[in-house]
Amino acid sequence: MTERVEVVGNMHMHTPYSDGEAWHEEIAEAAIAAGLDFVIVTDHNIHVAGVEGYYQNENGRVLLLVGEEIHNVRRVPQASHLLVYGTEKEL
């Protein structure tokens, strides 16, 4: 029988690049404090490079990844938000 491992994370976070309030390092610190294993930052219509990786402090470590939340900014009201993971550039 295969051993199961629970991995806990948040797959939809925003920074001030869109409508969030915390920067990547602050998100990582909060995730460590909350006991998360990973977080994926999915800002609106922007892919932020150079911030992915493990962040750690004396309380633990967390893996921070970057995705993107894509939507049509010309449509009012905005709709059809799509979370995209695993890209290396802005879509």
Residue 29's pLDDT is: 98
Residue 26's pLDDT is: 98
- Tens-digit pLDDT profile for residues 14-66: 999 999 999 999 999 999 999 999 999 999 999 999 999 999 999 999 999 99
User: Could you list the residue range(s) of the whole structural domain that residue 21 is in?
Assistant: 9-64
Examine residue 23 and state whether it is found in any structural domain, yes or no. Answer: yes
- Say what the pTM is: 0.87
Count of domains in the chain?
A: 1
Nearest to 41 by CA among 8, 7, 16: 16
Examine residue 87 and state whether it is found in any structural domain, yes or no. Answer: no
Q: Give mean pLDDT, residues 66-85.
A: 83
Which segments of 1-91 does DSSP mark as H helices, in order?
24-34
Examine residue 43 and state whether it is found in any structural domain, yes or no. Answer: yes
Examine residue 81 and state whether it is found in any structural domain, yes or no. Answer: no
Examine residue 72 and state whether it is found in any structural domain, yes or no. Answer: no
- Residue 33 exposure: Cα atoms within 13 Å on the Cβ side: 6
Examine residue 73 and state whether it is found in any structural domain, yes or no. Answer: no
Examine residue 39 and state whether it is found in any structural domain, yes or no. Answer: yes
Examine residue 82 and state whether it is found in any structural domain, yes or no. Answer: no
